A = this chain, B = another copy of it.
């Protein structure tokens, strides 16, 4: 049968639209995947637009746009994926208007309220390289050289903490039986990993018992004759320890939080007594936790004292140095971490004071073999005896973030990091001095490192502050004022300081104190920026005093 032209055309008519659409989609998709050498590729066009975004973003001084959250969220209310690919120029325009324009300028010299700051410029091209290479360190077959590069970078920081012999590092740095450190997504996973290792190592296989890993917590405690299991540390432990206690099945009630002194350091006497009590009650102490840089005020526990207690009790000693760990780079400030070298495990975040992008948590292990307590295998991957980094880790597939870490350690060096740490603390001292000299503010504590707590005092209460005559009600007025001030400052968007709530004891009662919280870790922050932030707060406070009645 021969079809007439008309028939052919009809037939085409029935098939063409789908086929044409299919071909069109195919072409669009393949264009997105090609790394072609066309005159100007899609990638280059996208890059040009994005470079514009980045430049604007990185050079803006204000901390964020003034748009209110409730208005902003209306731009993100579409739950349907577009059927066909959206034109990239249109998409990027929307992205610029809706996302980039209303993101937080974490690199702004006047955004000094959280643990994010400007990053060294090399991280931006490195991010592109990491994404181009798209290595997956879970196994050596998807991350060949990078697996060794990661091990080397982790060994460097291990050595900075523990300073074992040349021989030790020669033996362990590239030995697939050893784990000097584990690169994870963040401090939370690092802390959980450390406690997981500690728990499993102390409840391992013995005689007929197969170990907690296989038989579970209840059977393990039963076999070893414990009445329960606890984790002990300062009341200022990061909330990741709540997650760990919950996740690991001991419950948050078994996370024992010890009171701190007025420098936000765990009370050593109380800690010692608690350890004694737990041992007397036949409780397994999974770990004693020291905090090196509390999240809310930067306080560093007396690690040497804690180490001594842990050693005497033969208990795992973990240090959460997610924030404060890099003090170790500073000759001047390193002494604050004295005792960290006695820790069994140490958490440090690369995305905090190592000035690397988000997503670099690390846990360092004194005993290179302790991580075998959490080792897992799988036939399709993770082979015993391999260099697969995923076999002793909480996470599986992950990005090659070691590229940033390795580059940071080399391109900044010991001296570069020392400079950054010293500068942050020096400028914090400047801010503390300024605040002390301004009647508008009250400094809430002499800063230990580079976190600073203070508050604004409404004019009519200043004299009472000086005379130390604040009533509980006055304090509540100040709290409300500062909460409002912080929110309005954030909303106004020129500068940024965060807030937290501390408590002080007055006449035996716990009084909550709302504190403004500065984090001075941005190398771009100059003294004049600090002045500007404080001035901004004073101006906002003046407006509040007119607008609202805080008396």
Q: Which of B50, B59, B215, B523 has a CB less than 8 Å from the CB of A129?
A: B50
Taking the complex as formed, is A135 at the interface, i.e. its CB lies under 8 A from any CB of chain B? Answer: yes
Residues of chain B within 8 A (CB-CB) of A50 are 125-126, 128-129
A122 near B32: Cβ-Cβ < 8 Å: yes
Chain B residue with Cβ nearest A25: B415
CA distance A139 to B401 in the complex (A): 22
Residues of chain B within 8 A (CB-CB) of A177 are none
Which residue among A74, A136, A295 has the maximum number of chain B CB atoms within 10 Å of its CB? Answer: A136
Residues of chain B within 8 A (CB-CB) of A173 are 76-77, 79
Q: Given A77-B173, A143-B103, A214-B253 in contact, is the A413-B83 Cβ separation under 8 Å?
A: yes
Q: Given A82-B410, A106-B142, A141-B490 in contact, is the A395-B29 Cβ separation under 8 Å?
A: no
Q: Would you give the 0/1 interface string for A136-150, flagging 1 where the beta carbon is closer than 8 Å to chain B?
A: 100111111110110
Residues of chain B within 8 A (CB-CB) of A54 are 128-129, 132-133
CA distance A507 to B178 in the complex (A): 42
Residues of chain B within 8 A (CB-CB) of A358 are 134-136, 397-400
Q: Which of B413, B419, B490 has a CB less than 8 Å from the CB of A81?
A: B413
Taking the complex as formed, is A430 at the interface, i.e. its CB lies under 8 A from any CB of chain B? Answer: no
Taking the complex as formed, is A28 at the interface, i.e. its CB lies under 8 A from any CB of chain B? Answer: yes
Shortest Cβ gap from A216 to chain B (Å): 3
CA distance A85 to B406 in the complex (A): 12
List the 8 shortest-distance A-B pairs measured between CB atoms, nearest first.
A249-B249, A216-B251, A102-B145, A43-B121, A217-B249, A127-B131, A79-B169, A358-B399
Q: Give how many A residues have a beta carbon under 8 Å from the other chain's beta carbons.
A: 179
CA distance A118 to B30 in the complex (A): 11
Interface stretch of the complex, out of A8-16, A155-163, A274-282: A155-163
A394 near B116: Cβ-Cβ < 8 Å: no
Q: Which of B88, B155, B374 has a CB less than 8 Å from the CB of A122?
A: B88
A149 near B76: Cβ-Cβ < 8 Å: yes
Taking the complex as formed, is A270 at the interface, i.e. its CB lies under 8 A from any CB of chain B? Answer: no
Shortest Cβ gap from A326 to chain B (Å): 11
Q: Which of B29, B99, B170 has a CB less than 8 Å from the CB of A403?
A: B99
Taking the complex as formed, is A465 at the interface, i.e. its CB lies under 8 A from any CB of chain B? Answer: no
Interchain Cβ contacts under 8 Å between A and B, 16 examples = A29-B120, A32-B411, A32-B416, A53-B132, A69-B140, A74-B174, A75-B145, A81-B409, A124-B128, A189-B394, A214-B251, A218-B218, A247-B248, A249-B249, A379-B500, A380-B498
Taking the complex as formed, is A551 at the interface, i.e. its CB lies under 8 A from any CB of chain B? Answer: no
A239 near B376: Cβ-Cβ < 8 Å: yes
Interface stretch of the complex, out of A180-188, A336-344, A439-447, A469-477: A180-188
Q: Given A69-B387, A186-B397, A248-B248 in contact, is the A357-B131 Cβ separation under 8 Å?
A: yes
